[in-house]
């Protein structure tokens, strides 16, 4: 299965950010993580994180989302889930931030796939 992550400039998730797009600190962007092969499953982003390296196993990483929840130690406004675990697409609103000593960074996501909703049911 293929999972695709796309970053947009607008809350309607239509204006895609490309490598030519100039971004600035504190700018709001919109992140979409999609699995398109199956409509009978749900996708949930468990961890969303950044690294200054294209290989996320090398060097430091900074968690924006941990265990499906925003990392509030960074700032409560840096990442806001819009939809996560309720269908084939997860969506987030994110304010760009500067990580010390890095002029650019890469965004990664760890996901899980569920049979229907990924939201736990408590009895």
| Tally of residues, the chain | 123
56 or 39, greater pLDDT: 56
Contact between 96 and 25 (Cβ < 8 Å): yes
- What is the rounded distance in angstroms from the CA atom of residue 90 to the CA atom of residue 69? 13
List, as one string, the DSSP characters of 78-93. Answer: SEEEEE-SSSSEEEEE
Residue 108 has a pLDDT of 94
Confirm whether 122 is domain-assigned.
no
- pTM given for the model: 0.86
In the DSSP assignment, the letter for residue 71 is: -
Flag whether 70 is in a domain: yes
Residue 120 pLDDT:
59
Query: What's the whole-number mean pLDDT along residues 93-115?
Result: 83
Does pLDDT of 73 surpass 90? Answer: no
| Helix, strand, or coil (residue 54) | coil
Confidence of residue 75 (pLDDT cuts 50, 70, 90): low
pLDDT averaged over every residue in the chain: 86
Residue 123's pLDDT band (boundaries 50, 70, 90)? very low
Q: What is the CATH number of the domain that holds 44?
A: 2.60.40.4100
Q: Provide the domain count of the chain.
A: 1
Distance of CA 110 to the CA centre of its chain: 9
| Structural domain contains residue 110 | yes
State the pLDDT at residue 109.
94
Q: Which of 13, 7, 33, 53 is nearest to 109 (CA)?
A: 33
Mean pLDDT, range 55-79, rounded to an integer: 84
Q: Where are the beta strands (DSSP E) in the chain?
A: 3-8, 28-35, 42-51, 62-66, 69-70, 79-83, 89-95, 106-114
Q: Does 69 reside within a domain?
A: yes
Q: Tell me what the mean pLDDT of segment 10-16 comes to.
A: 96
């Amino acid at each position: 299965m293929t999972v695709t992550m796309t970053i947009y400039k607008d809350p309607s998730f239509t204006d895609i950010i490309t490598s030519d797009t100039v971004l600035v600190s504190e700018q709001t962007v919109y992140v979409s993580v999609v699995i398109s092969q199956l409509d009978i499953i749900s996708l949930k982003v468990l961890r969303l994180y950044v690294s200054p390296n294209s290989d996320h196993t090398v060097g430091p990483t900074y968690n924006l989302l941990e265990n499906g929840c925003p990392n509030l130690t960074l700032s409560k406004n840096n990442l806001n889930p819009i939809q996560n675990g309720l269908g084939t697409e997860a969506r987030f609103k994110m304010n760009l931030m500067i990580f010390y000593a890095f002029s650019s960074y890469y965004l990664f996501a760890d996901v899980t796939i569920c049979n229907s909703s990924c939201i736990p049911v408590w009895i």
